[in-house]
Structure 1
């Protein structure tokens, strides 16, 4: 990495320790997700059971993220991450002990999934908001790309390890591994210095209430054109690309055959694509000047390739298109996260990333409610074509809206290049809805969350 004279001298060490701990903890979480999904599938063979596992495993995170974002702005983010990881480990340990004693009722598993999901709603916005505290601003895109590639690599490794553990031992063994990995993550994060941000006070010198903080976060997103439109773009992309991606195994089975190796190859091509895109961002990140152009272009490419999936009649072309979508998703996700980290003031980042977590957690399950039943009435090919065309049309429509175009243009370039146009009538250099004189991108002094939501299981 290039040397940044304004960066803290130990930032590389802090980032290495932090990412190592988060990777180990993420691996344990993904082992549990795959093992629980397989256990419920093999022991119940019930679609209703799988539906409830997804509900209990995802919706609590969406609900708690609202408050988790506020807590990430009020308290030390490092302690929030450590506390959440520890609580998840304790819940997992309790579930393992219950199952060891013979208690294997579904409600026990549902309860554990719900509690784990709830604490993830606290942890995820804190992780995203902590990154700019330990990473110099010029290196944010590179580190986000590296984190994206690590997460994608875990998507390749975790199913293999989970299958080996589950086949050789049982579900309880996987739970004990998750407890150990969580403790490793907590121990490594303990070594990273992360200060508590100074918070502004309200009238009379007292800090705002939780409700006041939450309302301020809503007002901030509603009044900040860049953040608002970027979240809309990200959410619609997840709806129109994320959910159809879940249907690709169904298309493989219906069109190309239901051999296991074909389904496995489909997963591998998607994951390798996302990992490759993350690596590209890690290597080329600081050289990317027009970040919003890259985000919009990636979304358009994902839309075109998604439609191409539906038109493809050759299996290897189908797999290659899936790889391309994986690359496009990474080259959209990493710059989007970086733009938010650079643009949003440090004291607001927890709340903003809390709402980003809600978008990511809710968009894909909600989309599956629509696309899933449609896949039983129409061909998957037609749904993929429709989804791709809709995404391209949405981007074209978004860019036709003057306020959206101006707001996104505010962060079209990296932050060391002054923007020419202020969004929605805000003064030059100030975020839309921010007071005059506020910087468009905040440089952070010194000391990434839930893994990519595609195919994470319950």
Structure 2
């Protein structure tokens, strides 16, 4: 558990600093450019590289030192962030420089995320995976609440170049925690040493040809084998396809809450005594905090009660199915809410529904995967889920300008329900195959 504590503490610091800087950069782009094109480019540079690199980050996590793959991207990201900080301090920073930094930060996440998810089973005691994954989800949820608040305070007090250095500081702290984790090195079964010049970390010879080409061939072979392995396991297939489809049909409409709030609740105030929502910014802040609070509550529930009740893959898959179905129901609720208060309550429930999916999903991918395939499984999941959201936005965002936006949410929620049924079907199929 000491190793788990060091890993989660390191990730908590790393995520906090990265999120603070991410919010600060996005707000700077909004305030300086005030154009939708700039926000679209920022989204593409901040999301697409991670989705693409994750395809290669998964095989890397299976073949190379996972601890190094966790620490190295943080150090590279810290270096480019220092460069960006200096450029702001000297006054020659512009959108092109920011987009380049966002690209590198996103690509680093494509390497780091599969490595982190693959490393968790390496350091987690037997039977504690769901609890650790749920705690990791709580950290992410708490980060979504704390980071924008800290960023809002800092951006009104200090210049942007100094805010960027927060990420550098937290990255160094995070790397320090991970560096203290001691995991025994794995050796080939025969105990022999492997020449690093002619073989990869898994002890297998590289294909013939120049080294870069040989590595590329090996990577694509890993991608192919990882895809075949994942699709051949009903539970892994159910979790990954379910995650991707849910991101496509449900998460994408949820990213339109900005339009929903401004169109449906403009001029509608909410007075609760302890808080009054009057301005558009008040309502948007309540929307973000409500969803994040729901994620936090759901993660806490899964790390306590869920860890005791969901002890096997079958029960965890059922919870995934239930969570996806509840995501669909609550997305419908967001589109049909009769009042602002009802909308915010449903938004909290939507966050809880999302959280009770995430913990079991990660646990299934870790426990059902062979150790040599864990990175590839998570890399495939990250790629499909990350691509699912922008692809969904390409479908649902134009619809929001043609039909009432509430219909978009209802459609997205209704389309999520068959996804839950499909995952349930794969779960039952997997049980039948084993029996």
Tell me the TM-score range normalised by the shorter chain.
0.7 to 0.9
Q: Is 1:381 the counterpart of 2:406 in the alignment?
A: yes
Q: What is the Cα deviation at residue 405 of structure 1?
A: 4.0
Could you say which residue in structure 2 is the equivalent of 1:287?
A: 309
The 1-side partners of 2:396 and 2:76 are apart by 35
Conservation of the 8 A alpha-carbon contact between 1:76 and 1:194:
no
Conservation of the 8 A alpha-carbon contact between 2:131 and 2:303:
yes
TM-score by length of 1: 0.83
* More displaced stretch, 97-106 vs 381-390: 97-106
Could you say which residue in structure 1 is the equivalent of 2:53?
A: 64
Superposed CA deviations along residues 323-372 of structure 1, whole A, max 9, x for unmatched, are 11110101011101101100001111111111111122211111111111
* More displaced stretch, 390-399 vs 136-145: 390-399
Write out aligned runs for 1:42-61 (5 A). Answer: 42-61=31-50
Q: What is the Cα deviation at residue 226 of structure 1?
A: 2.0
Conservation of the 8 A alpha-carbon contact between 1:60 and 1:121:
yes
Write out aligned runs for 1:158-173 (5 A). Answer: 158-173=147-162
Q: What is the Cα deviation at residue 196 of structure 1?
A: 4.3
Could you say which residue in structure 2 is the equivalent of 1:220?
A: 229
Change over 3 Å in CA distance of 1:72–1:108 after alignment to 2: same
Conservation of the 8 A alpha-carbon contact between 1:74 and 1:199:
no
Q: What is the Cα deviation at residue 137 of structure 1?
A: 3.1
Superposed CA deviations along residues 349-396 of structure 1, whole A, max 9, x for unmatched, are 111111111122211111111111211222221111111111113333
Could you say which residue in structure 1 is the equivalent of 2:269?
A: none
Q: What is the Cα deviation at residue 170 of structure 1?
A: 2.0
Q: Is 1:368 the counterpart of 2:393 in the alignment?
A: yes
Q: Secondary structure at the match of 2:128?
A: helix
Could you say which residue in structure 2 is the equivalent of 1:272?
A: 293
Conservation of the 8 A alpha-carbon contact between 1:69 and 1:125:
yes
Could you say which residue in structure 2 is the equivalent of 1:441?
A: none
Conservation of the 8 A alpha-carbon contact between 1:32 and 1:174:
yes
Conservation of the 8 A alpha-carbon contact between 1:145 and 1:279:
yes
Superposed CA deviations along residues 177-209 of structure 1, whole A, max 9, x for unmatched, are 10000000001111111344456899x962573
The 2-side partners of 1:198 and 1:112 are apart by 37
Q: Secondary structure at the match of 1:104?
A: coil
Could you say which residue in structure 2 is the equivalent of 1:242?
A: 251
Could you say which residue in structure 2 is the equivalent of 1:94?
A: 83
Q: Which runs of 5 or more structure 1 residues have no equivalent in the other structure?
A: 1-11, 411-420, 429-458
Could you say which residue in structure 2 is the equivalent of 1:341?
A: 366
Change over 3 Å in CA distance of 1:205–1:376 after alignment to 2: closer
The 2-side partners of 1:114 and 1:205 are apart by 32
Could you say which residue in structure 2 is the equivalent of 1:308?
A: 333
Could you say which residue in structure 2 is the equivalent of 1:4?
A: none
Q: Which runs of 5 or more structure 2 residues have no equivalent in the other structure?
A: 190-198, 208-217, 267-278
Q: Is 1:74 the counterpart of 2:63 in the alignment?
A: yes
The 2-side partners of 1:329 and 1:123 are apart by 22
Conservation of the 8 A alpha-carbon contact between 1:32 and 1:175:
yes
TM-score by length of 2: 0.87
The 1-side partners of 2:394 and 2:101 are apart by 24
The 2-side partners of 1:220 and 1:197 are apart by 22
Q: What is the Cα deviation at residue 35 of structure 1?
A: 0.5
Change over 3 Å in CA distance of 1:205–1:231 after alignment to 2: closer
Change over 3 Å in CA distance of 1:199–1:83 after alignment to 2: farther
The 2-side partners of 1:295 and 1:326 are apart by 14
**What is the alpha-carbon root mean square deviation over aligned residues?**
1.9
